Structure 1
Amino acid sequence: MEWSAYLSFLAIAAAVVLTPGADVAVVLKNSLMSGRRGGVAAALGVTTAVGIQGVLTAAGLGVLIAQSQPLLQTIRWIGVAYLAWLALQALRSAWRGEYSGLVDTSGVAARGYRQGFLTNITNPAVLMFYLALFPQFMTADMSVWWLGAMAMTLPALGIVQLVTLALVIDGASRWLQRRRVRRVLDSVTGVALGGLGLRVALQ
């Protein structure tokens, strides 16, 4: 694989990362609820899941998963249910409008990581992206290093974007924690997560 080909792959991956999705919504949700710690943990969870899917695709296991319709459908519906649950949480929070400031407990990081990981590991769109894109750049003599670079490109770009988002939200926390602003953001996040769940359900 030549550098010119990798740069083309990088450009496509960057365009995908910049497209808002469930990953952005779950990092936004955790950043608002738990500050920098929760947002960064959610970002790490997201990129861990994306990295696992990239490695599976590079190893050829992604094709087996995609060809197993019962398994793929099970993963898809788990993802739909989880997105719906997160959406209901956000909408319920917006409806009640009861905010007591940022949560700062020992469980914040674990909860954020778990939500970020589950949101993306159950999203078949990530796996399908890899399966659609990888064959266009893979060759019979491609080294394991190039395969690894391709598999880790998307999570590397994603962690930069999502951690930056978490830090920006944390920096503006004083304004964002106003009750009216929180209710609007929770409403938008809930609708976005619900819409994403519906889109996955209809795929």
Structure 2
Amino acid sequence: MNINERVETAKFDLNERENLIREYTPFIIKQLSNFLNKYIDDKNSDELSIGLMAFNEAIEFYDYGKGSFLNFSTMLIKRRVIDYLRKNYSENTIPIEMYCENKDDYESENRMLEMISFKSLLSLYNITIKDLVKESPKHKDTREIALKIAQTICNSEKLLKYLKIKKVIPIKEIVKILNINKKTIERHRKYIIALVIIISEDLPILKQYLNIESEVPQV
């Protein structure tokens, strides 16, 4: 049975439900970590407790005819985390638009939540969606070069870690590896960083737009 079929069984079989929750705890931790952009303690944390309860809730309310269970559970995990943050922190901590109400379209809500995560990750580098619209390369060959640079960074644990810690592109190393003009990297810095985020983070919907499937080091 696939996961969707197992969930249908788990609605009425407590043992199967417990098995699913145990097996997918790493998945739950990954969703929490990516959405909150921080390490999640797998032994004892409020966030993990919320994630586990949300996953259990997803099993309870999942509708087999409305799409992927994992997409639905991801949406519900993020929604419950947002509820938690809004209740326990200031009203300005989590934008009100982050909370979605369209329960009939799991895929649509997941796209919205993924875009919210993307915006949050961009903000770590002081980049906005407007910046990307304004500064994205106009020519196909330039976009291809930018993607090649981003993939080079993502394929190197050292370069990826440098970018995430320093919040700047390791230009000298990229120039050496790809023999690319330094100004090309500087001119398209924000676009390249956005590509790195899409490739290296858990953003499957945005990856589809780039036709990127490869796994990269996680740091």
Structure 1 length-normalised TM: 0.27
Structure 2 length-normalised TM: 0.26
Give 1 or 2: higher helix fraction: 1
Higher relative contact order (CA 8 A, sep 6+): 1
When Rg is computed on C-alpha atoms for both structures, the one with the higher figure is 2
